[in-house]
Amino acid sequence: MSEKSASHLMLDDAIVAYYDELCTMTRQRGHASATANDVVHELYVRLVDRRTSLEGKSSLRAFLRRACANLGIDRLRRDRFELKLFSGSEEEALAVASDIAAPDANIDLRRRLQILKTAIMEMSLQRRRVFLANRIGNLSSDEIAMRTGISRNMVDRHLRKAYLHCLDRLEEVS
């Protein structure tokens, strides 16, 4: 008999032997009876799919209890998440932002980009270089400081002021 077959038979025998105990334990941890059965069934399917070797386990019963408890915790977390996810009202659902941009978004985007370009050009040369190195070049403050010969604190100050300048310009027009 192959190792897969022996392990599979061992799992079958263990699930049959401990099925009621695993279901009871899962119910005691807050699951409804039907859900507890689902958790034990899911445990069996996962162990068979993974072809988990049960040969080296010191206590097959303890292994199954721990695995079932962990799967039960995962199930409770997923149920809570789904409850929260689908608990909102229609008004809340309509307030969620869409991935599809509004028809006039491109017009507004172009206008905002032009405002940002103007705001960037209004900055001092050094602040503009620091800002662009960070935003366009993806350089960290330490890398910018090393390349420009200014302190990291000064780089951070330039970045803060550059962001504030851009935000001020965007708010002025809005």
Distance CA 43, CA 54 (A): 14
- 43 contact partners, CB below 8 Å, separation of at least 6: 15, 22, 64, 67, 68, 71
Residue, of 114 and 86, whose pLDDT is higher: 114
pLDDT tens per residue across span 138-173: 999 999 999 999 999 999 999 999 999 999 998 887
User: Residue 93 has what pLDDT?
Assistant: 64
Distance CA 97, CA 101 (A): 9
Distance CA 79, CA 34 (A): 14
- The percentage of residues in the chain with a pLDDT greater than 70, rounded to a whole number, is 82
**Highest mean predicted confidence (pLDDT) among 9-13, 33-37, 91-95:** 33-37
Residue 97 DSSP label: P
Distance CA 5, CA 171 (A): 69
**Residues written for the chain:** 174
Q: How confident is the model at residue 11 (pLDDT cuts 50, 70, 90)?
A: confident
What's the distance, Cα to Cα, between the start and end of the chain in Å?
Answer: 76
Distance CA 31, CA 71 (A): 11
